[in-house]
């Protein structure tokens, strides 16, 4: 019997992409996706269930569908997208309900993959150049998103301890850049001049969005208990990131940086939340070697991810927001799939 | 079925098939600057070496003894006594070893630098690395580099002129534990001259609290040259550096913890040797300025 997979956050960028990717996997029998909103990407055989943001009905879904794997992609790491309260509700309460559903007696769940973020390491001047999975953060968390992610990871640790028959894979992703994803960093790089904090040129690290999806697929296909950092090789200074994108830089004051950055948000240019300002000041590096030892191969380095984003940005600037390549057209594909006029091999 | 017609498989349509990318070989890494993973830039370092060379040779007239004891290959942890309000010993040791042995030295320094705009960036580009056990381990064990630390921490440069050349407590012996874990020798270096290059007359505690600095020194340099120029104008004290016999530990590397009593004993033994070497060097010194 094949795998039966539940994907959380199907309506979000990652949930949709992950579902699309695992639809290709012939070993996966059933894919169920839950979210508050309809998926935004076309999906072939994934079934969508509408749930509230804290997933209170999840236990029943898990029980009814007998899924063996949960891909928890729905952790909010971009705090500019919603209020602190909603974020807490989604991250902490949502995960709590998810784990409660997965630890119900006689549950069918054997495998949980969680998409967390390197935000749990923070960014401070006392940091090491590279964080290993075990390295503790050097400063207590000060931002809401970091606190909520740390709380989530704590729940997961307890869950993994209490349920040794379930493989829990916790993936901590570095900042993502790529062809399609929009984050505060990508928005900052799309401005005519990229903001930076005067006098600081931090070393940053990225992972390309394709590598994110491939990594989640990899975690689905392998037994990977524990925590894994996911990031492209190498770190590069923010000035170089701007240079690869062909941008000048726009200085923000090194003191009262929050106040200096606030007008950018007001004007609707780019929201720079406090955790991102910390990153722009001190940078962050996470050691990706454990995942490599497990057999995962990256397709992009950190600088490669920046270039992939820069190329997509140049293309967008020329041809507009429409996706230029052939992606997926529901009607056409439905025609191929269902029309009696199409000759199919049996 | 009629031949020549395109056959579409029933259940595999509509999937997004990734085009195969170049599969083998190293990944495409479009770097544009020469800043490495530690934040060092060879271009900046070359410039810094060129600017600092004359100061090292003409101003401080640094003189080494026992350089042959410095390992030519493999990682080693260099430890030295620390002095001067704005320490002048770290650049002298780093520059000296790089010039004389051709090996780069990674100076681990207080995090404080990194939090300052401009200075922090320049410090990092020129070769400074934040003092964190993870950094030390990676440099020593995996990259087999020379790493310089000052076990006294900021208590070394913070001591007043009256306490000169008397070593403070060597922290909690963390440097010994790092060397044990990395499986590298410790090379002690006794430095004479730094104390007199920018002595601390007294410390102003309330200013230290107000500015968040570990100590706020009043130096004769600042009194003579003003508060700004006094930050960089060192007195031309003669620098003498002596490399002591390396200390090897016969413990298995890579362990999570080592015996605390062993660590404290080793740390104290190194401190005593360094202290004796300093007193011996001072006994034979005729002049602060001419050695």
Nearest to B62 by CA among B89, B102, B101: B89
Question: Longest C-alpha distance within chain B, in Å?
Answer: 106
**Mean pLDDT, to the nearest integer, of B256-269?**
93
pLDDT at res. B23:
53
pLDDT confidence bin for B9, thresholds 50/70/90: very low
Strand partners, A177: A208
Nearest to A300 by CA among A283, A310, A243: A310
**Mean pLDDT, to the nearest integer, of B271-283?**
95
Q: Decide if pLDDT at B19 tops 60.
A: no
CA distance A44 to chain B (A): 8
State percent of chain A over pLDDT 70. 95
CB A4 within 8 Å of CB A14: no
pLDDT at res. A322:
59
Backbone φ and ψ for B146, nearest 5 degrees, come out as -90, 130
**Mean pLDDT, to the nearest integer, of A209-234?**
94
For the record, the structure tokens of A1 come out as 């019997």
Query: Angle at CA A13, nearest 5°, toward A7 and A19?
Result: 35
pLDDT digits (tens, 9 = 90+) for A295-312: 999 999 999 999 999 999
From residue A32, alpha-carbon distances to A13, A15, A284, B14, B68 in Å are 16, 11, 35, 19, 68
**Mean pLDDT, to the nearest integer, of B140-148?**
95
Residue A173: other Cβ atoms inside 10 A? 25
Residue B231, judged by CB atoms within 10 A of its CB (0-12, 13-18, 19+), counts as middle
Q: Decide if pLDDT at A177 tops 70.
A: yes
User: How far from the centroid of its chain's Cα atoms is residue A231's Cα?
Assistant: 12
For the record, the structure tokens of B10 come out as 């029933």
**Mean pLDDT, to the nearest integer, of A263-282?**
89
For the record, the structure tokens of A77 come out as 């790491």
pLDDT confidence bin for A204, thresholds 50/70/90: very high
CB A209 within 8 Å of CB A232: no
Residues of A in contact with B13 (CB under 8 A): 333, 336-337
CB B8 within 8 Å of CB A336: yes
Residue B106, judged by CB atoms within 10 A of its CB (0-12, 13-18, 19+), counts as buried
C-alpha dihedral sign at A336, A342, B1, B6? negative
Give the span between the Cα atoms of A32 and A12, in whole angstroms.
14
User: What Rg do the C-alpha atoms of chain B give, in angstroms?
Assistant: 25
Residue A256, judged by CB atoms within 10 A of its CB (0-12, 13-18, 19+), counts as exposed
Backbone φ and ψ for A299, nearest 5 degrees, come out as -100, -15
For the record, the structure tokens of B158 come out as 């913070």
Nearest to B14 among A203, A244, A328 (CB): A328
**What is the ipTM for the molecules in this complex?**
0.83
Give the span between the Cα atoms of B89 and A23, in whole angstroms.
62
CA distance B207 to chain A (A): 20
Secondary structure (H, E, C), A254-294: CCCHHHHHHHHHHCCCCCCCHHHHHHHHHCCCECCHHHHHC
Q: Give residue ranges of B with CB < 8 Å to any A CB.
A: 1-2, 5-10, 13-18, 21, 27-33, 35, 37-39, 111-112, 114-121, 129-130, 132-135, 138
pLDDT digits (tens, 9 = 90+) for B90-139: 999 999 999 999 999 999 987 777 888 998 899 899 888 998 999 999 99
Nearest to A243 among B32, B117, B120 (CB): B32
pLDDT at res. A110:
93
**Nearest residue in chain B measured CA to CA from A124:** B115
CA distance A205 to chain B (A): 10
Give the span between the Cα atoms of A37 and A50, in whole angstroms.
7
pLDDT digits (tens, 9 = 90+) for B230-247: 888 999 999 999 999 999
DSSP state, A89?
I
pLDDT at res. B235:
94
**Nearest residue in chain B measured CA to CA from A17:** B16
pLDDT digits (tens, 9 = 90+) for B166-211: 998 888 889 999 999 999 999 999 999 999 999 999 899 999 898 8
């Amino acid at each position: 019997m094949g795998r039966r997979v539940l994907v959380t956050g199907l309506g979000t960028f990652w949930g949709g992409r992950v579902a699309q990717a695992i639809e290709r996997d012939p070993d996966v029998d059933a894919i169920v996706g839950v979210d508050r909103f309809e998926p935004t990407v076309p999906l072939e055989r994934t079934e969508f269930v509408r749930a509230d943001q804290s997933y209170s009905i999840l236990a029943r879904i898990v029980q009814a569908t007998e899924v063996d794997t949960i891909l928890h992609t729905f952790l909010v790491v971009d705090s500019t997208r919603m209020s602190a309260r909603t974020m807490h509700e989604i991250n902490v309460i949502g995960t709590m309900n998810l784990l409660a559903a997965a630890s119900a007696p006689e549950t069918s769940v054997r495998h949980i993959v969680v998409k967390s973020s390197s935000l749990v390491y923070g960014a401070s001047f006392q940091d090491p150049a590279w964080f290993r999975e075990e390295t503790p953060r050097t400063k207590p968390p000060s931002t809401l998103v970091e606190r909520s992610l740390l709380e989530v990871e704590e729940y997961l640790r307890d869950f993994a301890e209490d349920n040794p028959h379930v493989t829990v894979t916790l993936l901590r992703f570095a900042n993502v850049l790529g062809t399609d994803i929009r984050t505060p960093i990508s928005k900052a790089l799309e401005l005519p001049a990229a903001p930076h904090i005067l006098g600081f040129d931090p070393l940053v690290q990225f992972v390309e969005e394709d590598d994110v999806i491939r990594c989640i697929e990899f975690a689905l296909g392998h037994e990977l208990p524990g925590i894994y950092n996911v990031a492209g090789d190498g770190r590069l200074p923010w000035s170089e990131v701007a240079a690869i994108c062909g941008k000048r830089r726009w200085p923000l004051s090194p003191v009262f940086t929050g106040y200096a950055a606030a007008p950018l948000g007001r004007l609707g240019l780019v929201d720079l939340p406090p955790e991102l300002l910390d990153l722009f000041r001190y940078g962050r590096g996470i050691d990706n070697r454990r995942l490599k030892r497990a057999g995962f191969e990256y397709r992009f380095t950190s600088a490669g991810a920046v270039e992939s984003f820069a190329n997509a940005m140049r293309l967008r600037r020329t041809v507009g927001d429409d996706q230029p390549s052939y992606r997926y057209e529901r009607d056409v594909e439905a025609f191929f799939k269902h029309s009696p006029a199409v000759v199919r091999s049996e | 079925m009629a031949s020549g017609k395109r056959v579409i498989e029933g259940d595999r349509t509509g999937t997004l098939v990734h085009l195969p990318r170049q599969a083998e070989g190293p990944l495409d890494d479009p770097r544009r600057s020469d800043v490495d993973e530690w934040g060092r830039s060879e271009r900046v370092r070359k410039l810094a070496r060129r600017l600092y060379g004359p100061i090292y040779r003409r101003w401080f007239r640094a003189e080494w003894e026992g350089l042959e004891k410095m390992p030519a290959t493999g990682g080693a942890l260099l430890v030295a006594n620390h002095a001067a309000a704005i320490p002048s010993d770290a650049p002298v040791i780093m520059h000296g070893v790089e010039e004389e042995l051709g090996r780069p030295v990674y100076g681990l320094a207080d995090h404080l630098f990194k939090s300052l705009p401009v200075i922090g960036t320049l410090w990092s580009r020129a070769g400074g690395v934040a003092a964190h056990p993870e950094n030390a381990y990676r440099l020593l064990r995996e990259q087999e580099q020379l790493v310089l630390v000052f076990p006294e921490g900021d208590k070394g440069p913070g001591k007043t002129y009256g306490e000169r050349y008397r070593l403070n407590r060597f922290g909690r012996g963390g440097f010994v534990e790092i060397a044990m874990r990395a499986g590298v020798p410790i090379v002690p270096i006794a430095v004479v001259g730094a104390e007199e290059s920018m002595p601390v007359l007294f410390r102003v505690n309330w200013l230290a609290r107000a500015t968040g600095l570990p100590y706020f020194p009043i130096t004769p340099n600042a009194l003579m040259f003003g508060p700004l120029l006094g930050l960089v104008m060192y007195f031309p004290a003669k620098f003498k550096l002596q490399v002591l016999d390396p200390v090897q530990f016969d413990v298995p590397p890579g362990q999570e913890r080592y015996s605390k009593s062993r660590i404290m004993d080793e740390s104290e033994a190194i401190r005593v040797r360094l202290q004796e070497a300093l007193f011996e060097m001072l006994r034979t010194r005729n002049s602060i300025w001419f050695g």
